[in-house]
Structures are given as C-alpha cells and as structure tokens.
Amino acid sequence: MTTQLHNPPLLSVTDLCVEFATRKGPVTAVRSVNLQIAKGETLGIVGESGSGKSVTSYAVMRILDRAGRIVSGGIEFGGMPLHNADEATMSDLRGREISMIFQNPRAALNPIRTVGKQIEDVLIRHAQTNHEMAKAKAIEALEHVRIRDAAQRYHAYPFELSGGMCQRVVIAIALACKPQLLIADEPTTGLDVTTQKAVMELVRDLTRSQGMSTLLITHDLGLAGEYCDRIVVMEKGEVVEQQDTRRLFVAPAHPYTRRLIRSTPHAAQSIRDLLPEDLRLPPPPAAPVVDMSVPLLEVRDLVKAFDPPGGFLQRLKMRGSSAALPMRAVDGISFSIARGESVGLVGESGCGKSTTSAMVMRLLDSTSGSIRFKGTELTTVPAAEFSRSPLRRELQMVFQDPHESLNPRATAAQSIADPLLRIEGMREAAAIRARVEQLAVQVGLQLELLDRLPHQLSGGQKARVGIARAIATKPELLILDEPTAALDVSVQAVVLNLLADLKAEFGMSYLFVSHDLEVVRLLCDRVIVMRAGSIVEEGATAQVLSAPKAEYTKELLSAIPRPAHLPRQVEAPVQVAQA
Amino acid sequence: MTDATLTSQLTAGSRPSAFARNLAHFRYVMTSNPVTFLAFVLCAGMILVALFGPMLVPHDPLATLSDKALKPPSWDHWFGTDQLGRDVFSRVVVATRLDLLISVSAVAISFVCGAAMGACAGYWGGWFDKLSGRFLDTIMAFPLFVLAMGIVAAAGNTIQNIVIATAIINLPFYARVARAEVSIRRNAGYVQAARLSGNSELRILMFKILPNTLPPMMVQLSLNMGWAILNAAGLSFIGLGVRPPTAEWGIMVAEGANYIISGEWWLALFPGAALMLAVFTFNLLGDGLRDLVDPQRRT
C-alpha cells in the first residue's frame, strides 16, 4: 500500500511477544509479531487454531486473560503506546477508539438486557449522549446496521433475535461511538453463508463510509481474500507472510501460505488436491460401481412436527393463530441413497437437515412417513428401543463437533471400544484392544494417543476417534453431520481424504450433511438442497453446483466468499460432464 | 458387573501407569493450591482421629471423678474437666467418630437418593420430573432445621433417626444439582454417540452422564458435609438426638453453655472449636475434590 508511506500507521505492533503461564511453565503464544494498519485499511489476519491470531488482537485491546502477559514489544495506536497503558486509559479507549466484535454474538450480548439498552450503555459510558437523547441515538444505531423496525427491535432481548441479527446488534454497539479501529474476531463463524455475506458487506460498507480501519481475524482464507486489502498469515505464533491480497493469492511466498491456499476447497479439483504436495497419496481406488436400482435407504414423505412451546393454557390462549400449529421441521421429504453412493444434504441452519439425519439414524421418532433400510421399515421400532435392533450396527454417524461427541471421562480407546462392547458383544479385553488398535490404524490415529482423554487430543485427532468409533461395527450407511465444520482447513483436507478412502475401502454409503457446498462438491456424487423442511433441488453434484435451477441454490452459491484472485477450477470438469 | 470389570481391565491393561498418573494428578492438585492441601491434611487428620482416637485418649471419656469436677485446662487434663469430672479432651476426641459417622452416612444417603432422583427427573422428564420437583419444593418450603426437629421428635430420639432426618433435609440440594447437570447433558454429542453405540438408556444415564456430573456434585457434597455435622450437633444441642452421657460435640457445647457465665469457658469452647474446625475443613475441601474428579484438570 503506497498510502502507508505518507500516513503514519493508525496501529503499529512491533516485536510483540505474549506468554501464557501454564502448569508446565510459560508458553509463548505470540512471538515477535510486527504489523501495521493504515487509516482506512482493512487488514486480515489468517491462521489456523493456535496460530496466535486472536491473542494478538487481545493484546492490542489489552484483554488477555490473567495467565497471559505481554513480555516484550510495543503496541502503538495513533502514536500512543498501549502495551504499558494503565487500565483507566484502556477502558476509555475500548469502545470509543478501538472496538471489537466477537465470534459468538449471542455470548457477547447480555442476555437479560434489551439490545437497545445495551447500545445506550456504550453511548453513555463514553459520554456520547445523555440519558434523554440515548434512546433516539440507539435506534439510529440500529437503523444504521440495517435492522428493520428498529424502534421495535430496541425492546428485543438477544434470545428473540436470530444469530445474524445479534451480530448486527454487536456491530451497532461496536460502531456506536464511531471508533477509528474495528477488530473483528471471526465475526461470521457459526453464521450461515447468506448471513455471513450480509454481515460482512455491512461491516465493509460502514467502515468504508466512516473511514475506519478494520482488523479481520479469520481462519477462512476465502473470506479474508474477499474483504481485506492486505493479509497477514500467522502460524504457531509467528507472522510467516504479509502481502497485498492479490499478490498473496497469485504468488504466495511462504510454503505455509501455499499449503493454506491448497487446502481451501474452492481451488481444488479433486479431493486429493487439498493435501500438501509432499503428502499426496495415491488416488483412491476406484469406487465400486453404484448400483442405482437397489436403494440402500429409501425415505418417503418423512415429516417431523414439533409441538409449539408453552403449556396447555398458553396453547389455549393462542388458539387459532399460526403460532399454535405444530412446527413442521421436516415437511414431507423423499429421497433415496444407493449402495456405495455418497449423497450431500445441504442447507442453512434450521432447514431441517439435522432433524432428517437424526430420524434416519433413529435418534428421533418421526411424525409420519417411512424410512426403509434394505427393505426393512425402520419407523416401526421406536427410537428409544432401536439400540437393541440388529440394524443398529448398519447405521452409524460421525458427529459435528468432535470434542462434544466424545465422553470427557473416557479415553480414546474406551470411546472406540464402546460399540464393540455393546453392539458386537465382544467380551475379551485383549481382543477388544486388538480391534481398537486396528481401527486406529485404519483412521490414522497414532496408537500412543489411544490412552488419552479427549481434552488431551487435538481437533483432528478427536475427529479420527469419532470416525473410528463410527466404523467399528462396519456400518453400511454412515451419516456425516458436518464432520469437518469445527476443524482447521488443513485438518479438514486430511479428514475428507480419510473419509473418501474409507468409503472406497469398505463400500459404505455416505449421507453427508453440510452447509459447505464446496466440501460437498469434492466428496459427493449427488446433492440434495433443503430449505425450511423441504427439498428445493436434487441432482448430480456437478450439475446442481454449476447450473442450479432453484433460486435458493443460486443464492447459496453466490454467497460463498470467493476471492477474485483465487483460481477456480470447478468449471472445467462440469463442461466435460455437460458435453 | 462383567462389563465394569472389562472396562477396567481394558483401562488397566493399556495403562500400566494409571495409578501413577492419578498420584501425579493428586500431587498436582495438592501443590497447586495450598488451601486445598491444608483441607486434605485436616480431613485426613480428622479421619485418623475418628479411627484411632478412642484407643489413644488418656482418660475414659465416660469416667466421672467428682473430686476433679470443673477443673481448668492443665497438664493432666488438656481441655480441663466438666461438671462430672470427665476429661474434656478425651470426650472431644472420642466424639469425632460419632459426629463423622452421622454426617458421612447422612450425606451419603442424601447423595445417593438425591442423585438418583434428580438424574431420573433430568433425564426422562415428564410426570416423574414434575412430581419429584414438587416433592422437593415441599421439603424446601419448611424451615429445614425445624423439619429435622420434627422428624426426630416424631420418629424417636435415636442416632438412626438423626441420620435419616439430616439426609431428608439435604436431599433437595443433590436432587436439584443432579437434575440440572443431567438435563443439560441429556442430548449432548457423546450421549447421542452412546445411543448409536447400542447403549441402553439406563446404561447411558448411569455410566455416561452421571460420572460427568461429579465435579459440581463434589462441591455440594463437601459443603453439605459441614452442614450435616452442624445439623447433628444442633439437634443434640436442643436435646433431640444423641443423649448424654454419650460424647458428642453438640451436647457438650449445650452442657458447657450453662457454665460459661460462671467462668468455666473450656467446657463449651473446645467441642465448639472442634465443630468449627470440622465444618471449616469440609468447606475448604470442596474445590479440591472437584479438581480431583474433573478430567479436564488432567494434562
């Protein structure tokens, strides 16, 4: 950026080192980080978990937790040193000069105060207004972040608003005092792609119109590529590369940056392309031919309706209104999965995809409709009794959050052994141990990790434990519920490849539930797009993604952040398919 | 039973150093927080006194020596003697066993019953949840000490009834904690995974969810322990519960209270101090116990 030469940077961080005191002595989380943000510039910090990107921003805000401290280095904001500023100075600056948006908007808002009052608090704290004017200003701030009916929303509590709306309120709070620098720490992680697009565009428009600088912290290279002027890539507490966005994508200098760009799914043509070059595996063995004539799973007119909230009296009061009707989370959907096929089930949160997979897995009873697995009707056995069914071993699932799906008190070996004990009825400790080790080898989990507890394993290792547990009984149908949503991109690349290899090896069928169309493109033969409990589009993956018929699919596709500079290779095979 | 042993074999076979790890974890919890260390030392001391105290005391706690009545603390009688000439030190030491026995068994009963009740209510919900919830509300609606007095007065003045009364008034606390902790984990990822692994609902509740509710239950347990001691002593103090001449802290304080005005302070002070020390110990123990049973605390 040439402007940098003329303007002194708004924020400059020099040789920053941050240490955390832990049980095993001090751990350096950030080492000698240098970065500068010019006025009006948007800088992205990209890195995987543990890279120190959030810690750097916390150090700038001086909100490191008690164990962390700035060991050396300087932080200057508009010529003013922050690294040794006292708490009173910092609390004046926070919110007025530097604001922050956090990852989980719901957690960042006070649940028992209306959103309007929370905006007022900030305004009054920084003497931007008095009590008489506060309400009008707060409503103005809400209108500013494009919340409709702002005067009514002023009285809303955070739980009454959707995730995207909450994030808008957080942005309104952050921008209420017109700060010079906005730090956005993973502002859209956990939001749907269409919401993500709306929120990011809002941030971009508002910061541009006010000439603010933005520091965007994200794990998503695509997001940073689309919205940032310059990108800093961090790995293990160090800055490995700092470049203009275009140059970073066109000519990445550092091998880590190249690896990161590789593992971002949009650029890849096949699933193997995600892996770093030196780790390239042989192409997966040719998948067994999908026999479409014999469906493994057949779902017909499946419905799940939830009773409206409230007790009997409340329902009586609401009689006749639409709120009194049962909510149909899944509204009569039909699809089938052939043996050896992998089908993607795509949709945004609340579209009913998780409810569908829970019903197919027999974790949840359906309201009506039929689920036939290998010709056997599954809905006749209630979900609560399905654990004794002989079909239990054929239907298994890999859960979304690898951490939450492992019992915190059980070692990896105990978690993997659970289905062996309960379903296979294995009783001999040595035999179980041998089978557990065999499974660990199949999913690429080092044997010495088997005796660790979940919190002692990394995200990728936990994902492998979850996969090993799911394939322990050699199921025919495996539901993958966003298996990589909680993982870093490089780990996601490895896990996706593992899943593809396992499928080829054991001839399993996959139902891949995801919100990420790019991942579905790489792994699935067919894709089903769901919205509000119904299927809006269904077809071969290449066809749906390249020539979507439904408006909603088009909207989903266009919302995926896609930096212009990132070479995209999906068109090529599609043209072949069409020809 | 076979499953439990199998699981433990699986653990033991694969982790020869499991005991060493637990020991290392214990050492870490002890050294990281001196208060916890103090609490565990005091607690261990109290258990030792309860076990071996009666063998070691210098005098028979029940032997009356009328010529030595109401003597202040001296080299022969460390804590002095009471109105019947009994050695207060011996009585305080011997009473430890009875007081601990009452509080431990009362807390154990309410822990087991309360956890079972709360866990079922939290896991299955429905009519049992509503019924047990109202039942607990009913208990909570009474002034608890008055309720305990009523139970002991109605059922008879025995140690067994003191234990039952103390257990009943403590029941709601465990049931509530257990219900809340179980109901937030009812549909957790690892519980769903356990369903897919073919575990029955009861087994999931017993072996997957309940162990994970231990850390908050432990805090409750140790807080209640101090409370249960106070409660038992309180019942004895007002004349319900343990009867004289049995050595028990509450009775001793009650009997000694009459003599404080006339200057014989040692009669009430020493059993009162023992009572305070016991309550203090158990209250401090809570955090340490939680750290011990919390898997997240292990590296």
What does the pLDDT look like over B55-114, one tens digit per residue?
Answer: 887 777 777 777 777 777 777 777 878 777 788 888 888 888 888 888 899 999 999 999
Tally of CB atoms within 10 A around A564:
10
Query: Which residues 3-22 of B are in CB contact (within 8 Å) with A?
Result: 3, 6-7, 9-11, 13-15
What was the pLDDT predicted at A182?
A: 92
User: How far apart are the two ends of chain A, measured CA to CA in Å?
Assistant: 45
Rounded to the nearest angstrom, the minimum Cα separation between B190 and chain A is 4
Q: Using alpha carbons only, how large is chain A's radius of gyration in Å?
A: 26
pLDDT for res A267: 64
H-helix or E-strand containing A36?
Answer: strand A25-37
> SS3 for A315?
helix
Burial of B86 (0-12, 13-18, 19+ CB in 10 A): buried
The answer to whether B181 touches B122, Cβ cutoff 8 Å, is: yes
- How distant is the Cα of A462 from the closest Cα of chain B, in angstroms? 12
B196 and A422 within 8 Å at the Cβ level: the answer is no
Domains of chain B: 19-57+85-298 (1.10.3720.10)
Q: Tell me the nearest-neighbour CA distance from A538 into chain B, angstroms.
A: 28
Using only the alpha carbons of chain B, give its radius of gyration. 23
pLDDT value for B106: 92
- Which residues contact residue A552 at a Cβ distance below 8 angstroms, ignoring those fewer than 6 apart? A529, A531, A536, A537
Which amino acid does the sequence have at A499? L
Contacts of A469 in chain B (CB under 8 A): 193, 197
Beta bridge partners of A345: A513, A528
pLDDT surpasses 50 at B12: no
- Higher-pLDDT residue of B235, A563: B235
Q: How confident is the model at residue B14 (pLDDT cuts 50, 70, 90)?
A: very low
Provide the token pair at A10. Answer: 């708004």
The half-sphere exposure of B129 on its side-chain side, counting CA atoms within 13 A, is: 13
Q: What per-residue confidence (pLDDT) applies to B122?
A: 92
A286 phi/psi in degrees, rounded to 5: -55, 130
Give me the residues of chain A with pLDDT under 70, please.
Answer: 1-7, 267, 277-293, 308-324, 563-579
- B192 CB neighbours in chain A (<8 A) are 363, 397, 399, 405
Residue from the list B3, B14, B211 with its beta carbon closest to the beta carbon of A409: B211
Do A465 and A428 touch, CB atoms closer than 8 A?
no
User: CB B212 to CB A408 under 8 A?
Assistant: yes
Chain A, 519-548: which have a CB under 8 Å from a chain B CB? Answer: none
> Does A397 reach chain B within 8 Å, measured CB to CB?
yes
Give the A:B interface size as CB pairs under 8 Å. Answer: 104
Q: Give the pLDDT confidence score for residue B83 in this predicted structure.
A: 77
Q: Are A224 and A216 in contact (CB under 8 A)?
A: yes
Compute the distance between CA of residue A137 and CA of residue A141 in angstroms, rounded to an integer: 6
In A, which residues are within 8 Å of B6 by CB distance?
421, 427, 429, 432
Q: What is the DSSP letter of B208?
A: I
Give the number of other CB atoms < 10 A from CB of residue A494: 22
Q: How many CA atoms lie within 13 A of A256 on its CB side?
A: 14
Query: How high is the mean pLDDT of chain B?
Result: 83
Q: How far is B121 from chain A (nearest CA, A)?
A: 17
Secondary structure tally for chain A: helices H, strands E: 22, 20
Q: What is the spatial distance between Cα A79 and Cα A213, in angstroms, rounded to a whole number?
A: 15
CA-CA distance, A177 to A95, in Å (whole number)?
7
Residue among B2, B9, B190 whose CB faces A407 most closely? B190
Best residue in B27, B185, B190, B210 to probe A by mutation, most A CBs within 10 Å?
B190
User: Which residues of chain B neighbour A462 with C-beta distances below 8 Å?
Assistant: none
Q: Provide the pLDDT for residue A288.
A: 59
Residue with tokens 């009666």: B54
> How deeply is B26 buried, as exposed, middle or buried, from its count of CB atoms within 10 A (0-12, 13-18, 19+)?
middle
Over residues B185-208, the mean pLDDT reads 89
CA distance A458 to B271: 53
pLDDT > 90? residue B119? yes
Predicted pLDDT at B209: 92
Residues 19-48 of B with CB under 8 A from A: 28, 32
* Amino acid A469: pLDDT: 93
Q: How far is CA A547 from the centre of its chain?
A: 26
Contacts of A418 in chain B (CB under 8 A): 193-194, 197, 199
Residue B299, pLDDT > 80, answer no
Chain B contact present for A375, CB below 8 A: no
B269 vs chain A: nearest CA distance in angstroms?
43
Between CA B240 and CA A405 the distance in angstroms is 51
Interaxial angle between packed helices A459-471 and B189-196, expressed in degrees from 0 to 180 and rounded to the nearest 10: 20
Maximum C-alpha span of chain A: 75
Are A429 and B13 in contact (CB < 8 Å)?
yes
B139-184 pLDDT tens trace: 888 888 888 889 988 988 888 888 999 999 999 999 999 999 999 9
Indicate the residue type of A367: T
Looking at the predicted structure, is the pLDDT value of residue B2 above 60?
Answer: no
Chain A, window 451-480: residues with a beta carbon less than 8 angstroms from a chain B beta carbon: 451, 453, 455-456, 466, 469-470
Nearest of A427, A331, A480, A353 to residue B196 by alpha carbon: A480
- Longest CA–CA span in chain B (Å) reads 76
For A154-185, how does the pLDDT look when each residue is reduced to its tens digit (9 = 90+)? Answer: 888 888 888 788 888 998 888 888 889 999 98
Decide if A56 contacts A234 (C-beta within 8 A).
yes
**Contact criterion met (CB below 8 Å) for A215 and A98:** no
Q: What are phi and psi for residue A151, nearest 5 degrees?
A: -65, -35
Interchain proximity B11–A419, CB inside 8 Å: no
Q: Mutate which of A359, A385, A387, A452 to disrupt the B interface (most B C-beta within 10 Å)?
A: A387
The predicted pLDDT at position A479 comes to 92
Asked if B188 is an interface residue toward chain A (Cβ–Cβ < 8 A), one would say: yes
List b or e across B53-65, with b for residues whose CB sees 16 or more CB atoms inside 10 angstroms. Answer: bbeebebebeeee
* B296 → closest Cβ in A417, A455, A469: A455
Instruction: Give SS3 for A318.
Output: coil
**Which pLDDT score is estimated for B5?**
44
Look at A406 and B193 and tell me if their CB atoms are within 8 Å.
Answer: yes
